[in-house]
Amino acid sequence: MVVFVIAVLSVSAVLVPLVASVSLVYRVGGVVNFGAGYVAVFAAAACASWTSASSSLVGALMTLIAGAVVGAVTYYVAIRPAQKRGVSPIGLTLASLGVGLILNFVTRSIFGGAPTVVQPWISGTIEIFGYRTATQRILVIILAVLLLLVLWFVLDRTLVGRSLTAVSHDNELAAIYGIHGERFQLLAWVVAGICLAVGGMFQASLASVSVEVAPTLLLFSLVGSVIGGLGSLFSAVGGAVVAGAAATAMDTFIGPGLQLTGLFIVLTIVLTFRPNGLFTFRGTAERV
């Protein structure tokens, strides 16, 4: 049981930053970021390479900066021009996929694209309720919780967060009250890029990451946030935990190599019975 719980928590810990990122840009700009998996893979490879070149801390910091840059570039190169031309939601999604593909090329050309691991930030093992596991795993879980708290504080408790919410609800109205919508969309993409970088580093510090896993990571982050509900940070994070549990349960109880099948089954059930997400509790009736 302990094994299972820790496994679920560690899968979820990787997913938390990813779904936070996906749900953030969805809320602010209505874009489902199909490039998410590629950014995470890029970050994993970058962090591995830069860590071995310098130190863990420097490698991680540089990766975070790179994530922020990728976010900003995505917004300026793909999202904003497309929005200006009134491209449909599916078009915006495709544009984000386009950026992802270009980034994947960058990952391959600079870092080779072979499976890489990030050196654990903390070595050794730790025993919890008689189960021994890598200390790094526990560290990642704790860091994920911390990240969540920071995001919650910034997005929910500060003026910046409020403005972001305003932009996400009604860009034009926010503009009337003097909020620069574009600036906040940019901010959302930068934060989202950092989150994806964090997710990629987490994953690579626990298991190896190669360019082939980008679609899988993408799917996990999309499905996680959809299961929970794209409407808020916490519902999406809840979805990440459910997605993590579904995949781990498939692995533990059914057999290896069927994680995505588990994910698909949960997604289908949720979309059938609660299309707005498991953790979306707003009772809004839609007028025709």
Residues lying near another protein in the complex (CB under 8 A) are found at 32, 77-78, 81-82, 85, 87-91, 93-95, 97-105, 108-109, 214-216, 219, 222-223, 226, 255, 257-261, 263-265, 267-268, 271-272, 275, 283-285, 287-288
Which residues, other chains included, contact 85 with Cβ-Cβ below 8 Å and sequence gap of 6+? none
Q: Which C-beta is closer to another protein: that of 5 or that of 73?
A: 73
Which residues, other chains included, contact 32 with Cβ-Cβ below 8 Å and sequence gap of 6+? 22, 26, 89, 92, 93, 96, 222
Q: Which C-beta is closer to another protein: that of 145 or that of 254?
A: 254
Distances from the Cα of 110 to the Cα of 50, 67, 191, angstroms: 12, 16, 24
Report DSSP state, residue 54. S
Q: How far is the CB of 37 from another protein (least distance, A)?
A: 9
Counting every residue written for the chain, the total comes to 288
Q: Which C-beta is closer to another protein: that of 81 or that of 180?
A: 81
Q: Which helix (H) or strand (E) holds 156?
A: helix 135-157
Q: How far is the CB of 2 from another protein (least distance, A)?
A: 28
Q: Which C-beta is closer to another protein: that of 141 or that of 227?
A: 227
How far apart are the two ends of the chain, measured CA to CA in Å?
48
φ, ψ for residue 125, nearest 5 deg: -125, 165
Q: How far is the CB of 255 from another protein (least distance, A)?
A: 8
Q: Which two tokens stand for residue 243?
A: 């997605």
Q: Which C-beta is closer to another protein: that of 136 or that of 225?
A: 225
φ, ψ for residue 209, nearest 5 deg: -130, 130
Q: Which C-beta is closer to another protein: that of 28 or that of 95?
A: 95
Q: How far is the CB of 117 from another protein (least distance, A)?
A: 22
Q: How far is the CB of 32 from another protein (least distance, A)?
A: 5
Distances from the Cα of 169 to the Cα of 140, 181, 274, angstroms: 33, 11, 22
Q: How far is the CB of 212 from another protein (least distance, A)?
A: 9
